[in-house]
Chain A
Amino acid sequence: MNRAVAGRSGRGVRSDCLVEITETGGSGVRIEMQSKVDVLYGRANRALLEELISFFKLDGVNVRVEDSGALPYTIAARFETAIRRLNGVDGTGWLPPARVQGTGSVRDRFRRSRLYLPGNDPKLAINACVHGADGLILDLEDSVASSEKDAARILVRNALRAVDFGAAERMVRINQLPLGLEDLDAIVPQHPDLILLPKVESAAQVTEAAAHIRRLQDGAGSAYEIYLMPIIESAKGAIEAYSIACASPSVVALAIGLEDYTADIGAERTLEGKESAWMRGAVLNAARAAGVQAIDTVFSDVTDMDGLFTSVLEAKALGFDGKGCIHPRQIPVVHRGFAPSDAEIEKAKRIVLAFDDAERQGLGVVSLGSKMIDPPVVKRAQRSIRLAIMSGLLENDWKETPDEQ
């Protein structure tokens, strides 16, 4: 008798469920459901299961669910995973009604913080948006066991449809190609804002992913822009960083992964980071040369907030735009680190006012006192001002507020 199981239950499991489907050889469907929220959502859950059973045209099976407070999109994902494991049916056609759609991203938006969320654990994704990260990464790669890749893919696909990620950029880290192409098949139609490509070592890998995304989007008639962030985490990747950054117009940033890189070059990862100094410089320079953002690695000690802050200041000083986060409490520290200093804000204000002045007078050049200000410097100053406002260090209407000096 064929039987398949998906999801998790038991002590310590929250917001997830276990679905077991057994073929009986007979006819009819028997549902057995135990739920922690039976009093509140028992009726709703049974209606959902009946809907799923009818969608998948199931007959001659027993369906057993142990529910630890899973949301409907999770129950549906676990159900679909079990069915696929049982008989390979593709259930892409069924999805809970979309409550949330991505609103799209912007090429050069701030990407100071990006929080990793394990793709196969629904618990952390539901409330992830409340912590204020610039980006949220639903991870299909390192945080997912190889035997659970199918389950994670379906859960992440459903999460993109059902979970409100607020103002955060909706990111997915897929697996290395070719497995990553299957991830893209599931993910791309759900309008993620950005795809992280792990362990990229050549421009060809980027173009392959970009082409696959384009094919999927053309097929669906979608013009939704999906950006790419290749992660450089090997010696070869570091050498190829510039061509990787230039491989596709969809690339908006290069990110760094130091755990794998230090292992690859045969060095121990230290807090000081001398072993990766060249690589970080190389990737940063490649990113800037290609006109994309440069994003630093994660800081792995989640208890050491002072260490994290120091590390963010260092990343900012080197020219990086952002840092990876593996715990929500790291986000405010990262934002504090990337916030412009008082001196930076003052300088930026003067430059922006001078630029406004030049605009008003129709002048081609901006000057501050006797100094000419180049366009990149103006752009940089405008960005600092936006960041200062975002960080709560400057009022939105600062131009109207007379300077106190």
Chain B
Amino acid sequence: MSNDLQRNAAGRLVPTQINGETAIPYKGVGAHVPSGRKTAPLISRCADYPADGNKVVADLKTALERAGLRDGMTISSHHHFRNGDLVANQVFDAAAELGVKDLRWFPSASFPCHEPMIRHLESGVLHHIEGSMNGPLGAYASEGKMRGTGVLRSHGGRYQAVQDGEVHIDIAVIAAPTSDPFGNCNGVQGPSACGGLGFALADAQYADRVIVVTDNLVPFPCVPWQIMGNHVDYVVVMDKIGEPEKIVSGTTNITKSPDRLLIAELTARFVEAAGILKDGFSFQAGAGGTSLAFAIFLRDMMREKNIRARFVRGGSTRYLVDMLEEGLTDYILDGQTFDLAGVASMRDNPRHIHTNPFVSYNYHNKGNIASMLDVVVLGATEVDTHFNANVVTHSDGRLLHGIGGWQNCLFSKCTILPIPSFRDRIPVIVDEVTTLCGPGELIDVIVTERGIAINPLRQDLIEATKNSGLPIRSIDEIKEEVEGICGGVPDKPQFNDNIIAAIKWVDGTVIDVVRQVAES
């Protein structure tokens, strides 16, 4: 990429143009002030839609044709089925059959089940992907094989990008476990029920054309309508849209690792010692074995001390559902269900609330839920001694994960990263993160099995926990100890100049880039 690079406020060299469009380098937390109005969708008129409300068309290909699919368009999809999605691949198979080229896929997240997209990247149907690239797609991009530059955004950043007009969606395809012919749809009913459809909200609101794909068509009205049919152009019925049992992945089971259980326990004890655990508090614990274990330890403390939370943010799992049913929290405010108990609860329990990135995470908004949370626990692949963290690349420099809601959650009142101090032989605390995803000023505490490091910016937390008996140490001390164990300071991954992906901050500015790994 022949492109002007500029050093952003985090000291990272980033491009000022990405895929031919202007990009703003990161300016610091809260520094970028947007102006103007939100983008607006096309004006539609009822005369162009069947008066009887029946928008069903024969198949996906027909819907894409009617939606005006052509070269260079942006097609979006959502990831509520996680690794069990059966629709996104079919969209691009159909596009290939129609002979369309150079599309941009704009998923809310991708999973290993989307490996077939590599075929479409190779053949030219797809130009590039803007969204998380996990596993096989990440490896493909890391080797510099994707024509365009990937753009990774948080869930809130994705909403912001669509709303602010940075990403224009031509056609949104929404896989919906239950829909009526008008396009009112939800994710909580039907044989493929997967939970909410919150991640598809921006797509429904702002895309030029919206296609709902369902395997459970019910007569009007489909209630509840998580997505309103008034946004929808076409409805397609197919045999099976997803495998909901696959929303339960390895990351949604409680860890059995003794070290990670210890980390989870220390995290819960820290929350208690810091005075956060009190009636009416709120917390978020997402997927990931350690986060779930943290929630269990916290639950036990809440029971013991007779403490009730006002709300808990999900990714919901059966563990959070149990807490709701036991009365340990008044509400679950849920962005995404991680198992089928979560799906059933969202459907049946009026206190299990379906949310979306607009209310939870969008930074260009009049506030959001993330910043109201008392405490959030999150993962990371690397953390540096200034508490900056990486969630997208592995220590070998390869793109491995998406950002999810991670960046958005950093705005909580207390952000804790419970992480092992090393994985196998790979130190997790480094002098500088390979890829910067979250600025250290927003990360308050690192909990490892070898000690708890508190960000010096949080003197209040340091003060509150100083006599707690918890193993509180400096981050440099833990880093040195772990390097001693692992056999010295590790070498760094080598990259060439080719930028394969940009990492956006929550305000749409570019906080860092991922470069192509060098041939060894």
Contact = CB atoms under 8 A, between A and B. Distances in A.
A and B are partners in one complex rather than unrelated chains: yes
Nearest to A45: B487
Contacts of A99: 484
A71 B486 contact: yes
B258 A329 contact: yes
Contact of A69 (B258, B425, B491): B425
B82 interface: no
Interface in A131-156: 131
Contacts of B491: 39-44
B259 A40 contact: no
Interface in B269-317: none
Interface string B253-278: 00000110110000000000000000
Nearest to B263: A130
Interface in B474-519: 484-488, 490-494
Nearest to A75: B487
B372 to A, nearest CB: 34
A201 B450 CA distance: 41
Contact of B397 (A14, A39, A44, A68): A39
Interface magnitude class on chain B: 20 to 34
Contacts, number: 68
Greatest chain B CB density within 10 A among A15, A43, A99, A126 is at A126
B426 A69 contact: yes
A189 interface: no
B486 A130 contact: no
B259 A127 contact: yes
A41 B449 contact: no
Name which of A130, A131, A328 has the most chain B CB atoms within 10 A of its CB.
Answer: A130
Contacts of A38: 396, 520
Contact of B449 (A39, A68, A130, A329): A130
A39 B395 contact: yes
B424 A68 contact: yes
A327 interface: yes
Interface string A49-72: 000000000000000000011111
Interface in A308-328: 327-328
A369 interface: no
Contacts of A42: 491, 520
B424 A36 contact: yes
A69 B424 contact: yes
Given A39-B397, A44-B487, A70 B425 contact: yes
A93 interface: no
A392 B471 CA distance: 14
Interface string A202-221: 00000000000000000000
B469 A37 contact: no
A40 B396 contact: yes
8 contacts: A37-B490, A39-B397, A41-B490, A69-B424, A69-B425, A127-B449, A328-B262, A329-B258
Given A40-B491, A71-B487, 5 more contacts: A40-B395, A41-B425, A42-B520, A44-B488, A71-B486
